[in-house]
Structure 1
Amino acid sequence: MTDHHDSVPEAGRRGGHGSPWEAVLYDPARAEGTFLLGLAAARLGRPEAAMRWFRRTVRLQPGWADGWAALADASRRSGRWREAATAYATLLALSPADGAALANLAMLERVAGNPRAAVRRFTRALALDSGQAGTWNNLGNALRDLGATAQAAAAWRTALVLDPRQADALGNLGGARRDQDRFAEAGLLLRRALALAPQHAALHGVLAYALSGEGRLEEAERACRRALVSAPALADSLCTLGLVQQRRGTAGALRWFDRAMVAAPGHPLARFNRGLADLEGGALTDGWAQYACRFAAGRAGRERRFSIPEWRGEPLAGKSLFIWREQGVGDEFLFASCYADAVRQAGRVVIECEPRLLPLFARSFPKAIVRAEQPLRGRALVETVDCDLHIPAGSLPRYLRGGLADFPPRSSWLFPDPARVLERRQQLDGIGGDLRVGIAWRSQLMTVERQWAYLPLGEWGPVLGAPGVTFVNLQYDDCEAEIQRAEARFGVPIYELERLDLKSDFEGTAALTANLDLVIAPANSVAELAGALGVPVWRFGARDWTHLGSGVRPWYPSMRVFHPRAGEPLSAALGRIAAELRRAAALARRAGTEAPGPRLPARPARRVHSQAPSLRRH
């Protein structure tokens, strides 16, 4: 939330004024006089004059700690961060055990974008005096900047032990719970904070986001508007209001993103949200430019720094390019649709991928060098790569997909292992059915906020009831109990390959998927993998930015999308899929075909080797 500022006593740390000698002390030729004149100017609201007097003070008496403390505090209050930092550093050279100076210098380090240095100084300050709740709160903020979320939460909890009425620490801890999608807990903490600071606009804004995550959209909108009454230009709350109104289907919701960008032109979340809206509407040039703010907005993995420049679309002939992964596996499949184009343009391309994808990507992009992503621990702050240029994978479309006409008609860009495809085909030979359909029903990242985009297997009755269809499980988490309940309820077997780890063995999963006639899935990596393999896939869910203003997802020629219409529940889209599936199965049965898409090659009737995984029913 906010920082707690440790204050410097205004009248000096070792002495005051008001004595019979006060007139003498106000002598501008003496350090004591200039010091008191500076204090007087500060009290009169004349910060520039105060700093001039304090500068004269330290020139007249450079070893006087109180003079440097006053100059540092006045500079900080005026936003002169560099001068303040210099003054605090000098003060600490004179008084190394000055905890207030350490804490204030730490805050300036954080403002300057040096959270590691800030953590070190806050820790030193707390070693001198561990009872400062405000310093514990500030330490938590700096730890959060470093991504040390567990340690940050511990620091905020310590602040609250010392001072249960520390509203900033309550707000910070509530914000952390919100970021973990623990929205109910976040709401309790944020309401406690607001009881202590009812006019705190930022707290109302964070509460609004938590309420939105719980699906309490009307309450979230009220909290946003309460925040904006106190702070009309609060960009975070403007963004949240835009997102809430988007989910509510309110006309003109996007204007709130525009207002946020006017209020804070460099605000990354406002720019990112506006970019997604532009992409969703088909304005690709503006959309891709704003999508570049995803790292600063906290909507992608951590941005990385390299010793080589980032590629900005200039000619790549004779150059080597490093493409690094940044988001989840599903996004990796989508952005990989651009890799072949980059390989054609550059003299040499190095592709980084999620370690589980290494063999699949190495086979699919044989002219590139494919490397597994290395663990975050141990990476250098500035990475060195044996290439001329680098680019995050999600930035490739900005330079390679400027319009819908730039999407190539290729049916696939990932290619499974032929030997494993044959092995999977043999395993599927005995299960029959006019159509063999793979199904998945949720994402691995199942947050409270995202649950509205998925339907549990228990609601798939219309699909599972389609005659002539054999269903194969592609859901990659622990779902055995769900499958058993669905089989018992709907009387339909759902087959699964024994000893195939759908979560970790992407080679095996790709080979299985390539043998299916159709995949039905929501927005998850199963649908993205099927589309990248060129397998017919029916994806259901709300329209999102990846449609790029079209009625399809232009990345995937083999994909059909089924959206709920305005006012419909998601189950309505699944109902339309069920109707289409019944028609496709009937056509396959009448025509003697096996798929609604390209016909699969004939399957040889060979016996499955005993060591290979076999199909099983639950």
Structure 2
Amino acid sequence: MNEDFSKVTIDELLQRALQYHNAFKVNQAIGFYEKILKISPTNPHAIHYLGVAYHQLDQHDLALKFLEMAVSLKPDSSETFNHYGSALLKVPNFEAAEAAFRQALKLNPSNAEALFNLGNLIISGPELQNQVDAIAPERAVEATHLLRQAKALNPDHLTWQLELANALIEIDEKLEAKQIIDDIIFKEPTLAKAYFIRAKIKFGDMDLTKCILLSPTSHRAINNLGVVKLRQGDLNEVVPLYKKASRIAPDDPSVRWGLANGLLATGNLKKGWREARWRHKKPELLIERQGLPREWRGEEIKDGKLLVYHEQGIGDELRFASCFKDLIHKSSAPCIIETDSRLIPLFSRSFPEIEFINKLPRSENAIPEVDYSHFVKTNNIKAYTALGDLPLHLRPNIRSFGKEISYLIPSPKFTDAWKEQLDRMAPGKKIGFCWNTALPNKRYGDYFFSINELNPIFSIKNSV
């Protein structure tokens, strides 16, 4: 008799809890779920929906606690695994979230929310994690397929359609993406994200401006508009836009990096180089460096050496090498510069006063690590600085740049070989340039100009 009464009570309490929950009265629903658990501490439905409720209240630890219990109590529930994945996204644990969504779809391939969540995670994951790496083509195709299925099951969900358009852009199906977005904007012209995503398709400021009007705190849209203005040469608007984005998201490395570029482009070098230190927090540049001494601040160093550690790529190293001669005079100390092994002969020939070493080995962890402890101790290193921070101390304004025509000394062997090759060409001015990266990346696409933009150089009279 008591057992039957308890069952009826639990069913009634669960129905009332769900009524409150579906009416968005989450706190009242939590009260009923807790009453159920006092009667039946392992009730799978109360535990499941209590986890969902805490997830909706952004109480992530409690949400995960109950949803982890729920998936063990309801191992055949696609809905539970989908909710568990959504909670994992908030922690964030992207790898575990993806596994949860895949399990939800294994249990029910027609779970529309799980289809959308997995597709959206694949497409948005790199941006959510501030990664610069492009999405692997096969994953972008998978995401598009998942989002198409989700849209077919819920054709009126505009947000899902937007993410499908986002996925289509990733696989270069921009015409279809634009058609979807145009249709969404026609139906819902106040949806800010639609303009933000459409701005990825066509270069210009109109869509980003509209997005910001509709969503004034969208720091990514403001930041991207700064990029557009910089490329358009509208320098008066660049820094105010980047500063506005930085006030909204002061800890976002990509936004602060944008501000650095804006300041440098407008001639405020001292503040620009200081802001550029935010690059150290960008995921694609993040390295855990251990065992370093104090950081060099531009002062003279006595009774020891200065270490300049390696960062970024060969092109950046060649650019910052213009500071090496000034570094010797500024620090008044022997300098050791960590560099790519391929540049050691060139740098050693060009700057014989400096010792160049191959960059120390990095671990293969998700965040690479390098330990300088032994090197610092055995080489009497008293201070260090990053290669990209040299201009902060040596190039505070335009006047501080040297007037040398060149600062690198080529190998005589290669000089003779190139002279011989150039002499075989038609007479006239010879122009050589490097205009693209050897490691193409879709997310860097806007950094490089089209070959057609070089036409003015190709048309120079008597040039080859």
TM-score band by shorter chain is: 0.7 to 0.9
* 2:95 paired residue among 102, 108, 116: 116
Structure 2 partner of 1:127: 106
Cα displacement (A) at 1:367: 0.8
Judging changes above 3 Å, is the alpha-carbon distance between structure 1 residues 177 and 66 closer, same or farther for their aligned structure 2 residues? closer
Write the distance in 1 (CA, Å) between the matches of 2:125 and 2:15.
Answer: 38
* 1:323 paired residue among 301, 304, 309: 309
Q: Cα deviation per residue 1:239-278 (whole Å; 9 max; x = unaligned)?
A: 3334444527385454333333344343444333222221
Judging changes above 3 Å, is the alpha-carbon distance between structure 1 residues 167 and 281 closer, same or farther for their aligned structure 2 residues? same
Q: Tell me the matched-pair count.
A: 426
Write the distance in 2 (CA, Å) between the matches of 1:319 and 1:109.
Answer: 47
* 1:283 paired residue among 268, 278, 284: 268
Normalised by the length of structure 2, the TM-score is 0.72
Identity of aligned residues (%): 19
Write the distance in 2 (CA, Å) between the matches of 1:346 and 1:103.
Answer: 60
Write the distance in 2 (CA, Å) between the matches of 1:438 and 1:294.
Answer: 33
Write the distance in 2 (CA, Å) between the matches of 1:40 and 1:413.
Answer: 74
Q: Cα deviation per residue 1:54-86 (whole Å; 9 max; x = unaligned)?
A: 345445533111111121111111111222112
Match of 2:201, SS state, is helix
* 1:211 paired residue among 190, 202, 205: 202
Matches within 5 A, 1:382-401: 382-388=367-373, 393-398=387-392, 401=395
Match of 1:455, SS state, is helix
Higher Cα Rg, which structure: 1
Cα displacement (A) at 1:234: 1.8
Match of 1:368, SS state, is strand
Deviation larger for 75-84 or 41-50 = 41-50
- Contact preservation (8 Å) 2:235, 2:266: no
Structure 2 partner of 1:438: 431
- Contact preservation (8 Å) 1:254, 1:277: yes
Write the distance in 1 (CA, Å) between the matches of 2:104 and 2:276.
Answer: 40
Write the distance in 2 (CA, Å) between the matches of 1:244 and 1:426.
Answer: 44
Cα displacement (A) at 1:35: 5.0
* 2:410 paired residue among 399, 416, 419: 416
Judging changes above 3 Å, is the alpha-carbon distance between structure 1 residues 400 and 240 closer, same or farther for their aligned structure 2 residues? same
Q: Cα deviation per residue 1:268-320 (whole Å; 9 max; x = unaligned)?
A: 443332222212223334323433445777xxx82333262788546888688
Match of 2:431, SS state, is strand
Match of 2:199, SS state, is helix
Write the distance in 2 (CA, Å) between the matches of 1:396 and 1:56.
Answer: 63
* 1:67 paired residue among 19, 31, 46: 46
- Contact preservation (8 Å) 1:81, 1:108: yes
Write the distance in 1 (CA, Å) between the matches of 2:110 and 2:344.
Answer: 51
Judging changes above 3 Å, is the alpha-carbon distance between structure 1 residues 397 and 67 closer, same or farther for their aligned structure 2 residues? farther
- Contact preservation (8 Å) 1:107, 1:118: yes
- Contact preservation (8 Å) 1:183, 1:211: no
Deviation larger for 197-206 or 42-51 = 42-51
Structure 2 partner of 1:369: 357
Q: Cα deviation per residue 1:327-369 (whole Å; 9 max; x = unaligned)?
A: 5x4333213334567786888746343x764653465566121
Cα RMSD of the aligned pairs, angstroms, is 4.5
Write the distance in 2 (CA, Å) between the matches of 1:309 and 1:113.
Answer: 30
Would you say 1:232 and 2:225 are equivalent positions?
A: no
Structure 1 partner of 2:81: 102
Write the distance in 2 (CA, Å) between the matches of 1:346 and 1:101.
Answer: 63
- Contact preservation (8 Å) 2:347, 2:356: no
Structure 1 partner of 2:256: 271
Write the distance in 1 (CA, Å) between the matches of 2:64 and 2:305.
Answer: 43
Structure 2 partner of 1:464: 461
Match of 2:309, SS state, is strand
Structure 2 partner of 1:150: 137
Structure 1 partner of 2:381: none
- Contact preservation (8 Å) 1:51, 1:74: yes
- Contact preservation (8 Å) 1:360, 1:415: yes
Q: Cα deviation per residue 1:391-416 (whole Å; 9 max; x = unaligned)?
A: 76444434554445665666654332
Write the distance in 2 (CA, Å) between the matches of 1:408 and 1:331.
Answer: 18
Structure 2 partner of 1:482: none
Structure 1 partner of 2:380: none
- Contact preservation (8 Å) 2:339, 2:356: no
Query: What amino acid sits opposite 1:333 in the alignment?
Result: L
Q: Cα deviation per residue 1:178-200 (whole Å; 9 max; x = unaligned)?
A: 56887656534543554676543
Cα displacement (A) at 1:464: 2.0
Matches within 5 A, 1:167-316: 167-168=158-159, 170-172=161-163, 174-175=165-166, 186-188=177-179, 190-191=181-182, 194=185, 198-212=189-203, 217=204, 220-221=205-206, 223-246=207-230, 247=232, 249=234, 252=237, 254-294=239-279, 302-306=284-288, 308=290, 313=296
Judging changes above 3 Å, is the alpha-carbon distance between structure 1 residues 98 and 321 closer, same or farther for their aligned structure 2 residues? farther
Structure 2 partner of 1:332: 317
Q: Cα deviation per residue 1:546-573 (whole Å; 9 max; x = unaligned)?
A: xxxxxxxxxxxxxxxxxxxxxxxxxxxx
- Contact preservation (8 Å) 1:157, 1:169: no
Normalised by the length of structure 1, the TM-score is 0.56
* 1:92 paired residue among 71, 86, 91: 71
- Contact preservation (8 Å) 2:307, 2:335: yes
Q: Cα deviation per residue 1:203-225 (whole Å; 9 max; x = unaligned)?
A: 2112124221xxxx3xx41x234
Match of 2:365, SS state, is coil
- Contact preservation (8 Å) 2:310, 2:359: no
Write the distance in 2 (CA, Å) between the matches of 1:357 and 1:177.
Answer: 41
Write the distance in 2 (CA, Å) between the matches of 1:101 and 1:396.
Answer: 53
Structure 2 partner of 1:360: 346
Query: What amino acid sits opposite 2:214 in the alignment?
Result: S
Judging changes above 3 Å, is the alpha-carbon distance between structure 1 residues 341 and 263 closer, same or farther for their aligned structure 2 residues? same
Judging changes above 3 Å, is the alpha-carbon distance between structure 1 residues 397 and 193 closer, same or farther for their aligned structure 2 residues? farther
Structure 2 partner of 1:615: none
Judging changes above 3 Å, is the alpha-carbon distance between structure 1 residues 346 and 192 closer, same or farther for their aligned structure 2 residues? farther
- Contact preservation (8 Å) 1:352, 1:370: yes
